[in-house]
Amino acid sequence: MKKVIFIGQTGSGKTTLCQKLNQESLRYRKTQAVEWVGSVIDTPGEYLENPRFYNALTVSAVDAEVVALVSDPTASRSAMPPGFATMFGKTVIGIITKIHQVGEAAVERARQELIQAQARPIFLVDTPEDVGIKDLAEFLEQSD
């Protein structure tokens, strides 16, 4: 699997995605620092929520082949600025999590957030339900 870094707000599902892709049992825990788990780099949500930490994201993403911007359609606000993906200079994909917890309008809002951030392609997932994980994993397995 390509090395991927997950970037998103606190509670967006980054750690759960990491656990699922590494075939671990799903358990909630708050990520406090950048963590490398197999081919996955998990980042604290605060790194996206506070622009002064953007440099930590760019440095952490250096070893990744793919940057995954994770958008939570249940969130009341967005922390991802337009054009955010351009700071990485590599493939940036979008992932919308928790798709079964909200209606289509909330998913579309999350999609627009990722499009404005310039992330493509965009994957829709529900990690606990194992929806969309196969497509995401297959994308990460593909060679360039």
User: Residue 120's pLDDT is what?
Assistant: 96
Taking only the tens place, the pLDDT of each residue in 107-121 is 999 999 999 999 999
Residue 28 has pLDDT above 80, yes or no: no
Per-residue model confidence (pLDDT) at position 23: 72
Architecture of domain 4-141: 3-Layer(aba) Sandwich (3.40)
Is it the case that residue 27 has pLDDT exceeding 80?
no
Predicted TM-score of the model (pTM): 0.92
- pLDDT tens figures, 75-110: 999 899 999 999 999 999 999 999 999 999 999 999
Give the per-residue pLDDT at 29: 61
The DSSP line for the chain is ---EEEEE-TTSSHHHHHHHHTTPPP------S-EEETTEEE--THHHHSGGGHHHHHHHGGG-SEEEEEE-TT-SS----TTGGGGT-SEEEEEE--GGGS-HHHHHHHHHHHHHHT--SEEE-BTTTTBSHHHHHHHHHS--
Cβ-contact 143, 116 below 8 angstroms: no
pLDDT per position as a tens digit, 40-80: 999 999 999 999 999 999 999 999 999 999 999 999 998 99
